[in-house]
Amino acid sequence: MGKGTGNREPGTGDEGRKATVTSHQSPEKAFPLRGRCPSAHTGADEVASNDTPVTSHRSPGGRGTDCHDQSPDWSRNDKFGSASPSDDRYLSPVTCDLSLPPAPAREALSRLTAAGFEAYLVGGCVRDALLGREPGDWDITTAALPEQTEAVFAGERIIETGLKHGTVTVLLEGLPLEITTFRTETGYADHRHPDSVAFTRSLEEDLARRDFTINAMAWRPVDTPRIRRCAPPSPQGEGLVDPFGGQADLNARIIRCVGDPYARFNEDALRILRALRFASQLDFEIDPATAAAALALKDTLALVSKERLAVELTKLLLGPGVRRIVTAYWPILAVPLPELAPMAGLDQRSPYHCWDVLEHSAVAAENTPPDRISRWAALLHDAGKPACFTLDETGRGHFYGHAKPGAALAREALTRLKFDKDTVNRVSRLVELHDYPIDPPVEPAGGGALDAPQASASGGSGASRTPPPAKISAAERAVRRLIGKLGEEDFFRLLDLKRADALAHHPDCRGRAAACDRLETLARELLAQEAVFSLKDLAVNGNDLMALGIPKGPALGAVLNALLEAVLSGALPNEKTALLQAARSAPDGAT
């Protein structure tokens, strides 16, 4: 196969000085432990009158003392797949075995070694294999220079990913393998990219430039294709090469920088957010010195592109440690997400709540399925509360109308982070609807513009008799309307958000979570019955109405929408004869 032409990375400018940091505060001062209720399922804001208020069980700081810990139950969320935050693939204990690498990766190591070049699997694939997880990528580091690597794999498809930095991508049997020359880096004027790269013959020098100890391990076979259990590095550098204690940190479940954390974060500010992301994804703690450096240098995150920040924030939100990381490290997260700062520490002054606004939101995020749209909506669903906070004469807090400004803040935040329009629209719409009552009061019967025509008392030969439609409950009407408005996928996301919001309340005020379960059952039954949710489900369409003489235009749309409303409310059955009869009798414009 021919050699491909790849994109080369541009230069990064003149060599710059590393920022001087004077604040080396302790992790306790950097991230004071905040009294908090352990996690639970959660969600709504102003609790309805059928939820009995409880006596406020709170500490002087405004937090409850009896919010009981519960692990999210992901078994019902099969639409998101089986990989959940409680899944063993997230939390399996560290073992001494690396999984057998795929054949193309073993072949690449063999070819480079046979050509006389040291070569190792490196970085995330080694970390994930040690954790018993399936690596997403298989990266290789080697003593071969880029042109030597290309010569070794002559005839294979090669993409010159970043020759300037020593990286080429080789496709073997369809598997892309990034192969990078051992290198050192100096100067990081933009706090993101090295000003200069020098190739080296030392594997340890290459590992020393990496971000965290758990990512600074390398491996190659000892003397068979299979990985030897717990073998220390041989004099030839075979087996697991771990000069900075990465495997020990995996066992201790710690994120720790390689060497000086201030130097590592000054080199690349994105590493600050990556530390938080890995801690959330792996449910690890962050080493105190690493945490202190991350806090001290947090403002350098402003130098990172919004797109890269969005990627790391999303991965953080999808991790099983999201609640713990958001509540402990919000001062860092508030650099790219300033909307979080007013939420932190805002006591809700309500017997229905035992957490401040930020931790309530973090608990809600923890209790939504690990889905990108859902978790962003959960994190920001109460972003409008600080601006809407009021106290009544009894000293109780209220946040009337907070959903709409919260949706505006969510839209602003995601737009700033360069999310696509579809994500921005869907998240902000969920935030705006998170307090919407799906189980509304029952409306008075009758009174609609397109009620079912009544047969004459004499049973004469006028309009044909239309059988009365089955009675539809207020909950069913609301579910039908919302599915029609949001679509099936986002309707269930809204239920997940409302359920999680309920579960983030005081333990005595979580009844709405069970109500969401009942609504989900109802919705799935309606979907199975192919019930009417939108205009496309009606038994008539625009052509049918134009055949009756209704002109194309606004009047036609008004009649169709009135027919849909009549079916959704139960005033009419979804039958063509009944709908056409109602359309004939409709007043002009169906209003």
Quick one: pLDDT at residue 185? 78
Domains of the chain: total: 2
Amino acid at site 51? D
Q: Specify whether 183 is located in the same domain as 117.
A: yes
Which pLDDT value is given to residue 157? 95
214, 270: one domain: no
Q: 276, 305, 336: which is the final residue of a domain?
A: 336
Do residues 103 and 202 share a domain?
yes
Within this chain, do residues 232 and 105 fall inside the same structural domain, yes or no?
A: yes
* Whole-structure pTM value: 0.74
Tell whether 562 is covered by a domain: no
What is the structure's pLDDT at 585?
A: 80
128 and 247 belong to one structural domain = yes
Does the residue 547 lie in any domain?
A: no
In a domain, 104, yes or no: yes
CATH number of the domain to which 305 belongs = 1.10.110.30
Give the residue numbers spanning the domain of 224: 84-252
So what's the pLDDT on residue 439?
Answer: 66
Distances (CA, A) of 590 to 96, 312, 455, 477, 547: 73, 51, 21, 20, 17
Residue 505 in any domain: the answer is no
161: how many CB neighbours lie within 10 A of its CB?
Answer: 21
Q: Please check whether residues 201 and 272 belong to one and the same domain.
A: no
d(CA 580, CA 559): 10
Tokens of 383: 């972003």
Per-residue H/E/C for 274-342:
HHHHHHHHHCCEECHHHHHHHHHCHHHHHHCCHHHHHHHHHHHHCCCCHHHHHHHCHHHHCCCCHHHHH
Whole-number pLDDT of residue 138: 93
Residues 95 and 225 in one domain: yes
Among 191, 226, 252, residue at a domain's last position? 252
- What does each C-alpha distance from 584 to 315, 465, 546 come to in angstroms? 55, 15, 11
- Of the candidates 391, 307, 402, 300, the one whose C-alpha atom is nearest the C-alpha of residue 361 is 402
Q: How far apart are CA 109 and CA 226, in angstroms?
A: 13
User: Are 140 and 286 found together in one domain?
Assistant: no
Q: Distances in Å between the alpha carbon of 485 and those of 348, 395, 471, 491, 574? A: 32, 38, 22, 8, 18
Q: Of 287, 280, 283, 282, which is closest to residue 255 (Cα–Cα)?
A: 287
Angstrom CA distances, 575 to 68, 469, 479, stand at 51, 10, 21
Say if residue 226 is in the same domain as residue 318: no
What are the mean pLDDT values of the chain's consecutive 10-residue runs (591 residues total)?
36 33 32 32 33 32 44 39 31 46 92 94 94 91 95 94 86 94 79 77 94 95 44 52 96 97 96 98 97 98 97 98 98 98 94 92 96 97 96 93 97 98 97 85 40 39 46 82 90 96 88 88 88 85 88 88 85 87 71 38
For residue 29, tell me if it sits in a domain: no
| Structure confidence at residue 587 (pLDDT) | 65
Residue 266 lies in a domain: yes
State the Cα–Cα distance between residues 479 and 239, nearest whole angstrom.
58
Residue 153 and residue 288 in one domain: no
The amino acid occupying position 238 is E
Query: In three state form, how does the secondary structure of 463-495 look?
Result: CCCCCCCCCCCHHHHHHHHHHHHHCHHHHHHHH
CATH assignment at residue 119: 3.30.460.10
Q: Are 555 and 591 in contact (CB under 8 A)?
A: no
- Can you give the pLDDT at residue 238? 61
Tell whether 214 and 271 lie within a shared domain.
no
> Has residue 185 been placed in a domain?
yes
501-527 pLDDT tens trace: 999 988 888 888 888 999 999 999 988
Question: Quick check: helix, strand or coil at residue 453?
Answer: coil
Which of 287, 315, 336 corresponds to the end of one domain?
336
Structure-block tokens of residue 441: 């009061």
Same domain, 273 and 141: no
Kind plus residue range of the DSSP H or E element containing 543: helix 542-547
- What is the distance in angstroms between the CA of the first residue and the CA of the last residue of the chain? 69
Q: Who's near 275: CB < 8 A, 6+ residues apart?
A: 211, 212, 255, 257, 286, 290, 291, 294
Are 444 and 569 contacting, i.e. CB atoms less than 8 angstroms apart?
A: no
pLDDT of residue 50: 34
Would residue 135 count as lying in a domain? yes
